[in-house]
């Protein structure tokens, strides 16, 4: 078979959404109104929106068709069974409990398993996962391998758990650990994958200590593709089989269907344990809904069932991972420091390295994200001192890294749109010495990045 350099989008466009062209003047006015907070910019004023890959992907023709099959019966809808079976085809857990999104699954699970004095280890907790663990009074501990904390370290599976550290924690605090979690891919660590070997090693330690093992599986298909590409002996396998292997190691999962299941909304909680499932369903009914819909419309369940079939397609995954790497490699080539290797769903620019003249407490990530928007209308997300610097006692410290995340929505933007993004980055990098930092003019006591107002430091 001939091989080509260009990996094409394995779809063609069937329905289009207009992008509203704007000028730098227009965008500067929008920034002013938003207090330089990109979360407060109207989507209409954005050209290319790389704020998140969560719920922002394009559904397929077959997903839109599946919506028409939605049965909105309150109880026992056939749409629930179609959804449940699609989940079980990949993750054969006994109990599949739909929720309106991932954090609802987290809240329910940790309400049952968490509590004061408990400790939950994870490779790296996603922010809502950590918040839901801590909200119950429990402690969230991140045990990713050392390479996973180093933005430049080259390792094929930077999302791996430090298994020795996990053993040590279980030896010391075993009685307090209700469940061990693994996030695949490791979102907060840069969308980095976890190897099958590491999942097996973690499972063995969980067995040794008699602990439940759960997956935060939001990007399971991207993770399985990395396993197929990078792990010895996996190259000829079907991704579906790799996913089932991963599932077979776990006792349950939490899931945001806004990621790999290609939904605009949705999530689920799944597990084998009957008593745990009964306790979770009780809470589900309290705030999410009856167990056969859990806060979702029947049509959403149908669209997710179809999305789960599409996301494990090899042509899709090859395109997905390569098109993300394409952006990262183009940025590297023009000398922009990026977190490497490139993850599955996003490219992360090291803003602190690009803007060494801006003190971390003047938010180099914010400065870069604002400049990308102002100059090119590209919306990205600061992942650094704005997001993590605020301490509970009101003080502020620099985050370990100041990154800007370019999250790539699934099947949404074309290669020329990504080429444009790279060009905008190039222009901003060329004038980076002139960029100024920011100070916070107004902020709430918690999760300030969503609503804070900023002023430029002159
Ligand atoms: C998005 C995400 C969640 C939370 O899911 P929501 O649907 O946004 O509530 C949890 N864990 C990871 C790894 C995620 O990426």
Cβ atoms of residues 440 and 38 within 8 Å: no
The answer to whether 15 and 420 have CB atoms below 8 angstroms apart is no
- Residue % of the chain over a pLDDT of 70: 100
DSSP string, 377-395: -EE-EEESHHHH-B-TTS-
Ligand 1: centre distance to CA 450 (Å)? 16
d(CA 373, CA 385): 19
pLDDT for 10 equals: 95
Determine whether 56 is exposed, middle or buried from the number of CB atoms within 10 Å of its CB (0-12, 13-18, 19+): middle
Q: What is the DSSP string of 172-200?
A: HHGGG--EEEEESSBGGGTSB---HHHHH
d(CA 364, CA 352): 6
Q: What's the gap in Å between 176 CA and the centre of ligand 1?
A: 25
Residue 152: pLDDT band with limits 50, 70, 90: confident
- Asked if residue 223 has its Cβ within 6 Å of ligand 1, the reply is no
**C-alpha to C-alpha distance for 34 and 446, rounded to whole angstroms:** 19
Q: Is 31 exposed, middle or buried (0-12, 13-18, 19+ CB in 10 A)?
A: buried
The whole-angstrom separation of Cα 36 and Cα 456 is 9
351 C-alpha to ligand 1 centroid (Å): 24
Tens digit of pLDDT for each residue in 351-370? Answer: 999 999 999 999 999 999 99
Cβ distance 218 to 259 under 8 Å? yes
pLDDT tens-digit profile of 229-252? 999 999 999 999 999 999 999 999
| pTM for this prediction | 0.95
Report H helices in 34-101: 61-67, 78-90
Mean pLDDT of 383-406: 90
* Structure confidence at residue 49 as a pLDDT band (50, 70, 90): very high
**pLDDT in the model for residue 2:** 86
Cβ(256) to ligand 1 under 6 A? yes
How much is the pLDDT for 238? 98
pLDDT at 394: 81
| DSSP code of residue 329 | H
Rounded mean pLDDT, 159-163: 98
Q: CA 263: distance to chain centroid?
A: 14
Give the position, in ligand 1's atom list, of the atom nearest the Cα of 267.
7
Q: Is the pLDDT of residue 392 over 80?
A: no
Q: Quick one: pLDDT at residue 59?
A: 98
The pLDDT value recorded for residue 393 is 82
Q: Span 269-286, mean pLDDT?
A: 98
pLDDT of 134 reads 93
> Does residue 61 have a pLDDT over 90?
yes
In ligand 1, the atom with minimum distance to the C-alpha of 55 is 7
**How sure is the predictor about 430, in pLDDT bands with cuts at 50, 70 and 90?**
very high
Q: Which DSSP helix (H) or strand (E) runs through 420?
A: helix 415-430
Whether residue 148 has pLDDT greater than 80: yes
Phi, psi of 36 (to 5 degrees): 55, 25
For atom 5 of ligand 1, the residue with the nearest CA is: 102
Q: CA-CA distance, 89 to 87, in Å (whole number)? A: 5
Closest ligand 1 atom number to CA of residue 257: 7
Residue 447 pLDDT greater than 90, yes or no: no
The whole-number pLDDT of residue 284 equals 97
Distance 55 CA to ligand 1 centre (A): 10
Higher pLDDT, residue 311 or 150: 311
- At residue 24, the pLDDT reads 96
Phi and psi, residue 269, nearest 5°: -130, 135
Determine the average pLDDT of the residues in 142-165: 95
Residue 439 has a pLDDT of 96
**Ligand 1 centre and the CA of 358: distance in Å?**
31
Residue with the smallest CA separation from ligand 1 atom 12 is 126
Q: Tell me, in angstroms, the distance from the centre of ligand 1 to residue 285's CA.
A: 21
Give 152 Cα–ligand 1 centroid separation in angstroms.
Answer: 25
Decide the pairing of beta strands 139-142 and 212-216: unpaired
State residue 446's pLDDT score: 78
| pLDDT tens-digit readout, 183-214 | 999 988 889 999 999 999 999 999 999 999 99
Domains, the chain: 24-53+314-456 (3.90.1150.10), 61-310 (3.40.640.10)
Residue 102 in contact with ligand 1 by CB distance below 6 A: yes
């Amino acid at each position: 078979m001939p091989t080509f350099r260009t990996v094409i989008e394995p779809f063609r466009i069937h329905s289009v959404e207009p992008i509203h062209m704007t000028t730098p003047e227009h965008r500067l006015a929008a920034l002013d109104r938003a207090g330089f907070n990109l979360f407060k910019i109207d989507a209409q004023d954005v050209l290319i929106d790389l704020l998140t890959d969560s719920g922002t992907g394009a559904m397929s023709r077959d997903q839109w068709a599946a919506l028409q099959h939605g049965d909105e019966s309150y109880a026992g809808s056939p749409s629930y069974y179609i959804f449940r079976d699609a989940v079980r085809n990949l993750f054969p857990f006994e109990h599949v409990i739909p929720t309106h999104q991932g954090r609802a699954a987290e809240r329910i699970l940790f309400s049952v398993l968490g509590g004061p004095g408990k400790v939950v280890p994870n490779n790296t907790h996603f922010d809502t996962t950590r918040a839901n663990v801590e909200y119950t009074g429990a402690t969230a501990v991140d045990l990713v391998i050392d390479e996973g904390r180093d933005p430049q370290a080259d390792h094929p599976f930077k999302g791996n758990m430090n298994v020795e550290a996990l053993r040590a924690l279980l030896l010391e605090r075993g009685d307090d650990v209700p469940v061990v979690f693994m996030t695949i891919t490791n979102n907060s660590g840069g969308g980095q994958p976890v190897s099958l070997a590491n999942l097996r090693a973690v499972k063995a330690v969980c067995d040794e200590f008699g602990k439940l093992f759960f997956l935060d599986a939001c990007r399971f298909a991207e993770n399985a593709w990395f396993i197929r590409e990078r792990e010895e002996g996996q190259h000829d396998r079907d991704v579906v089989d790799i996913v089932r292997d991963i599932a077979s190691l776990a006792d349950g999962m939490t899931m945001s269907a806004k990621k790999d299941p290609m939904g605009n909304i949705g999530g689920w909680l799944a597990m084998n344990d009957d008593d745990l499932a009964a306790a979770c369903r009780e809470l589900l009914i309290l705030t999410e809904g009856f167990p056969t819909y859990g806060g979702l419309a029947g049509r959403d369940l149908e669209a997710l069932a179809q999305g789960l079939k599409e996301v494990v397609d090899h042509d899709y995954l090859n395109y997905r991972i390569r098109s993300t790497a394409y952006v990262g490699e183009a940025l590297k080539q023009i000398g922009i420091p990026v977190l490497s290797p490139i993850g599955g769903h996003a490219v992360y620019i090291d803003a602190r390295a690009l803007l060494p003249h801006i003190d971390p407490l003047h938010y180099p990530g914010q400065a870069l994200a604002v400049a990308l928007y102002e100059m090119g209308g590209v919306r990205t997300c600061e992942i650094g001192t704005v997001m993590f610097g605020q301490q509970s006692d009101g003080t502020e410290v620099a985050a370990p890294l100041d990154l800007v995340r370019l999250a790539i929505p699934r099947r949404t933007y074309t290669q020329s749109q990504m080429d444009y993004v790279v060009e905008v980055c190039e222009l901003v990098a060329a004038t980076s010495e002139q960029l100024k930092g920011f100070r916070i003019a107004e902020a709430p006591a918690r999760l300030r990045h969503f609503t804070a107002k900023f002023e430029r430091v002159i």
